Amino acid sequence: MIWMNQLKLRTKINLLVFLIVGVVVLLTIASIEYLTIERQFDEAGQRALMLARTTAALPETVQAFASPDSVLKLQTLVETIRQKTGAQFIVIADMDQIRIVHPSPSEIGKHMVGEDNGLVLEGQDSITMATGTLGRSIRGKTPIRDASGQQIGIVSVGFLVTAVWRQIGLNLLWIASTGFVALLCGLLGAYLLSGSIKKQLFNMEPFEIAYLAREQSAILESIREGIIAVNSHGDITTCNHEASKMIGLDAREVIGEPIRSILPHSRLPEVLLQGTPHYDQPMIIGNTLVVVNRVPVTTEGRVIGAVASFRDKQQLDQISHRMSDIGRYVDTIRSQRHEFMNKLHLISGLIEMKDYELAKNIIEEVNHDYQSTLDFFLAHIKDPAIVGILIGKLHKAKELSIPLHIDPSSSVPNLVSHRELVITFLGNTIENAFEAINAESETAARKTHPDADRQADIKVYLYEEPERLTVSVRDTGPGIDPALGRSVLQDGVSTKGEGRGTGLALVQRLAANAGGTISVRSSSEGTELKMILPKEGVEKSES
C-alpha cells in the first residue's frame, strides 16, 4: 500500500511490533478466557456434586425419609449449609421427584423441574445444566441411599449460571488488565528497538540505504581502480569489476573466500591485525604490477575490516608521462615565445634606428629558417603529430643552444602506426639527451671532463618501411654507465637519482606490447636508443 511506503522505518517497526504483540495478547487472553470459563463451569459443577454428596450422606437426610417429623429439622440444616456454601439451592426429593426440601417453602411438595434427573434416578451421579424455578443453573445430583443401600431419594445442588458468569467476569477483568500491561511493555520495547535500529542505521530510512547501496555499487564499478574489501575474519566482502578483471576471476566467485586463498601475498591480514594503513605499495596481481593502498575499517576504535584499492602501475605511468609531456609542451611554447620576442625586439630596435636593410635581412633569415624547416617536414614527414613534437624540441634545443638535427634521410610518408608510442619515445629520449649534454657541459665547465672540447649534437632518425618503422635518437653526451647496461630500460633504473627511471621503462613495456623492440647502444662517445615497431596489420616475424 502506498501509505505504508510513506511511513518512516521507526513508525513501521512500532506498528509491526504493536500488531504482533496485540495479536499475541488477544490470542493469549482468548485462550485463557476460554480455559477460565470452562474451568469455572466445571468447578461449579464439581462443587455442586460434592455438596450434593455431602448432603446425601447426612444422617438427618436419611432419617427425614423414615420420619416425616424430621423434615423441618432437615430443612433448617440444609438451608444453613446452602447459605454457608453459597449454593443457589439445595433440593431434596423422593423417588417420585417430589420436593421435601427447597429454599422456597412454597415449592415444597411440588414436582422437580428441569427434566435432568434421568441418570440420578438410575443411581448415578450427574452434573447438568438446566432451567428451574430459580433460573438456569449448574446442577450436581446424587442419589440418597438408606442403610441397606437402597435408593430412597435424590439431592440436587445448583449454582446459578449468572453467578458463575459474575465470577468469570472478575477473573477476565484481571486477565485483561494483565494483557493491557503486556501490550504497553511491548510498545515500550518496540519504541526502544526501533530507536536502536535507527541509531545503528545512522538515522537513515530504508529507501535512503537502498539508494546509497546502489550509488556505492555504481561508484565501485565506475572507477578505474580495483577495490577489494574484507571483513574482520579476512573473508572477501566486496570485489568490483576492475579488481575481478585483474584477478582473473568473476566477482561472484571470490565473495566469501579468504583473501589469502585468492591473493596469497595480500597484506590485508596485516592491516586487520595492526590497524595501520599502507599507502602506494607495489604488488603483483597475476601478471600486473599494481600500486596498492590499504586502509583499515574501524568502528568505535575496533577494526572490523579492511579495504584495498589498486591500479595498474603502467596506467599511472602513462598518466604521469602525459602530464610530463604537457609540461614539456608548455616549456616549448614558452621558449618559442621567448625566441620570437627576442627577434621582435631586435627588429623593433633596428626599425627605431632606421636600419631597414638589416631589419629586412633578419626577417628574411628567420623566414628562411622556418620555411626550410617546414619544407623539410612537408617533404619527408607526413604525420602532423610527429612534426609537432619535433618542432617543439627544435625550439627548445635552440633555446638551450644544443644542436638538434633531423636526419635528412628520414622518411615517414604516411600517418605512423602507434603514434602515441612514437611521440612518447621521442619526448623521453630527446629530453634525456638534453639533460645528458647539459650535465656534460657543466662538468666540462669545471674542467674535470676529458672530452670538454667535443661538439654537442643530437640527431633524430625516422624511417618507415613497408613492414616496420624505425625511430632512433643519438646524442654525444657522456653515455650510460656500463654497469647499468640494458637495465636502464627497467622500471626505477636511472642515472639521474631517485624518483626517475619510469619514462624509458614505460616505453619499453609499450613497445613490447606492440610487438616492437628497443635497443640501447652507449659508449663514452654518446648514446643511441633505437625503437623498431611493426606496422599495424603486419604480424611480427618469428626469430
Per residue in 25-76, pLDDT (tens digit) is 888 888 887 888 888 888 888 888 999 998 888 888 888 887 877 788 888 8
Section 494-513 average pLDDT: 62
Q: What is the pLDDT of residue 24?
A: 85
- Beta bridge partners, 291, equal 282, 311
How far apart, in Å, are the Cα atoms of 64 and each of 68, 97, 151, 152, 511? Answer: 6, 15, 14, 11, 131
How do residues 443-462 score in pLDDT, each as one tens digit?
Answer: 655 554 455 556 788 999 99
Q: Angle at which helices 9-56 and 161-200 pack, to 10 degrees?
A: 160
How do residues 372-422 score in pLDDT, each as one tens digit?
Answer: 777 777 788 888 888 888 888 887 887 788 888 888 898 888 888 888 888
Split at pLDDT 50, 70, 90, the class of 442 is low
Split at pLDDT 50, 70, 90, the class of 306 is very high
Please say whether the beta carbons of 531 and 471 come within 8 A: yes
Q: What is the CATH number of domain 364-534?
A: 3.30.565.10
Q: Where in the chain is the domain with CATH 3.30.565.10?
A: 364-534
Q: Where in the chain is the domain with CATH 3.30.450.20?
A: 10-167, 224-312
Q: What is the pLDDT of residue 498?
A: 46
Q: What is the pLDDT of residue 307?
A: 93
Q: β-pairing, 404-406 with 458-464?
A: parallel
Split at pLDDT 50, 70, 90, the class of 536 is low
Distance CA 336, CA 322 (A): 21
DSSP state letter for 17:
H
| Cell triple for 341 | 620576442
Q: What is the pLDDT of residue 537?
A: 47
Split at pLDDT 50, 70, 90, the class of 6 is low
Distance CA 81, CA 61 (A): 13
| Cell triple for 125 | 451421579
Q: What is the spatial order of strands in the sheet that 236-239 belongs to?
A: 236-239, 226-231, 302-312, 288-299, 278-285
Please say whether the beta carbons of 484 and 473 come within 8 A: no
Distance CA 408, CA 537 (A): 28
Q: What is the pLDDT of residue 459?
A: 92
Please say whether the beta carbons of 140 and 45 come within 8 A: yes
How do residues 277-301 score in pLDDT, each as one tens digit?
Answer: 998 888 877 667 788 899 999 888 8
Section 136-142 average pLDDT: 87
Distance CA 288, CA 309 (A): 14
Section 203-217 average pLDDT: 78
> 3-class DSSP state for residue 415?
coil
Q: What is the largest CA-CA distance in the chain?
A: 173
Comparing C-alpha atoms, which of 268, 275, 219, 266 is closest to residue 246?
A: 266
Split at pLDDT 50, 70, 90, the class of 539 is very low
Distance CA 114, CA 133 (A): 9
Distance CA 69, CA 383 (A): 146
Split at pLDDT 50, 70, 90, the class of 18 is confident
Q: What is the CATH number of domain 224-312?
A: 3.30.450.20
Split at pLDDT 50, 70, 90, the class of 305 is very high
Average pLDDT over the chain reads 80
How do residues 65-112 score in pLDDT, each as one tens digit?
Answer: 878 777 888 888 888 888 888 888 888 888 888 888 888 888 888 888
Give the list of residues 6+ apart from residue 326 with CB closer than 8 angstroms, or none: none
Q: What is the pLDDT of residue 540?
A: 43
Give the list of residues 6+ apart from residue 288 with CB closer than 8 angstroms, or none: 246, 312, 314
Q: What is the CATH number of domain 10-167?
A: 3.30.450.20
Q: What is the pLDDT of residue 521?
A: 85
